[in-house]
Amino acid sequence: MLVGHSYGGAVITQAGVNPKVHSLVYVAAYAPEVGQSVLDTQKPYPDAPGRPFIVKDDAGYLKFTDEGIFDYFAPDLPRSERALIAATQGAFGVKAVSTPVTQAAWHTVPSFEVVSTDDKVIPPQLQRDQVKRLKATAVEVAASHVVMLSHPDVVAKLIIEAAK
């Protein structure tokens, strides 16, 4: 089983074609189609409110501003946890979100999805539309983008279901 969060959904979409993989779990994540990147999957939808708070540094890597973490990425976490995320977040390369996948495992591998209905990073409607497209078993949670931190029990339950 592979589990992916956010742009990690593109990673499991591509890597999941390995015959050892028996299920995919998307946790507030993107599930691109063959030939699509993460950015491509967002094109039909309005920009999420948190998107302007993703900034590029001088080396070309992306990360959230502190305001973005506090108000858009993880607003349902206690202030101390948001501060920790802001201080320790790792930057990610533009290629992580702009490189199209060449394979989409969800076409043949059973998929599961946690939809974060209060997500301000990935539009909830995009997540819901993916559930239909992937024919995924899904659960919706009134949570931010970091649903695995705010509702770990719900995420763990779906992962356990996917492991069966």
pLDDT recorded at residue 59 = 87
pLDDT recorded at residue 3 = 98
2-163 CATH choice from 3.40.50.150, 3.30.230.10, 3.30.70.141, 3.40.50.1820: 3.40.50.1820
pLDDT recorded at residue 60 = 85
What pTM was estimated for this model as a whole?
0.96
What are the backbone angles phi and psi of residue 54, rounded to the nearest 5°? -95, 120
Contact assessment for residue 121 and residue 73, using Cβ atoms and an 8 Å cutoff: yes
pLDDT digits 0-9 by tens, 27-51: 999 999 999 999 999 999 999 999 9
Domain edges within the chain = 2-163
Mean residue pLDDT of the chain comes to: 97
Average pLDDT, stretch 80-89?
A: 97
Angle formed at CA 79 by CA 145 and CA 97, multiple of 5 degrees: 30
